[in-house]
Amino acid sequence: MGRITARRAVRRVGPDGDVRRPDTLAVEEPLEIRIGGESLVVTMRTPGDDIDLVHGFLLAEGVIGSRSDVKLIRYCAGRDGEGLDEQGENTYNVLDVTLAGVRPPQLAKRSFLSTSACGVCGKAALEDVQKQTRYPLSAAEPAVSPTLIGSLPGKLRAEQRVFEVTGGLHAAGLFAPDGELLVVREDVGRHNAVDKVVGWAVQADRIPLSDTVLVVSGRASFELVQKAVMAGIPMLGAVSAPSSLAVDLADEAGLTLVGFLRGDTMNVYTHAARLGF
């Protein structure tokens, strides 16, 4: 699977004793995102779908609102060889973005919503997302039955190709209200997987995603709810638990948040009307 997986030696200890063998691991590498040649952020991710990731990240942070806001994205070798490996080859770990129109003045000094920071209270974080989103959620759409949403984690799991080999990746899937899988992405970071899904939608001119359901393979953090709200996604289902701030943001923004989504059992934390309750 190329740069997505890597082989490492492992000692497998079990009932049959100590066995030495190679193991397949998910690759984790840094990706530096630059705007007009200036470093914006570095995220650790699984290589692949990097262009999607950047589009999704920039939309989630309020830097762009659609594909038309991005003029060009290109891999570069970095400054002073930063993006080169020991053989002088491009690592493809640096992406430079040229925005269309005027560069947003807040980029130079802003602190990203997705970064936890001392001194930032929950109330301020909630207000920040509400101010930045360009796609307020409608209270009515979409309508999805509990039975249908309960089936979506299984569909997502069936498409987790790299997880099947490594057991070490998160996944995010975007579904239509009838249960059709639109796109799935995997990554070592759950936030990156969501950025890749949203970035796919940005490039396909499908923003806002007002008629979709987002399902993630792990827990639902504030950051994932933020990304859903910024993309206009009205429903988020997580296989595991949400955080308290994630529930608060979902409630305030009008997003239906479902946790512990496992077949015919689930916890509906906010805006249950979309599920017929």
**Residues recognised as catalytic:** 118
Q: What sign for the dihedral angle of Cα 117, 121, 122, 128?
A: negative
What CA–CA distance (Å, rounded) separates 187 from 29?
11
Question: Which residue has 């997003």 as its token pair?
Answer: 255
Determine the number of helices (DSSP H) and then strands (DSSP E) in the chain: 7, 12
Residue 115 contacts by C-beta under 8 Å, 6 or more apart in sequence? none
Which value, to the nearest 10 degrees, does the dihedral of the CA atoms of residues 40, 41, 42, 45 take? -120
> Interior CA angle at 113 toward 130 and 181, to 5°?
80
Burial of 106 (0-12, 13-18, 19+ CB in 10 A): exposed
- Considering only CA atoms, which of 155, 149, 164 is closest in space to residue 264? 149
What CA–CA distance (Å, rounded) separates 112 from 34?
14
Let me know: does 182 contact 204? Beta carbons within 8 Å: no
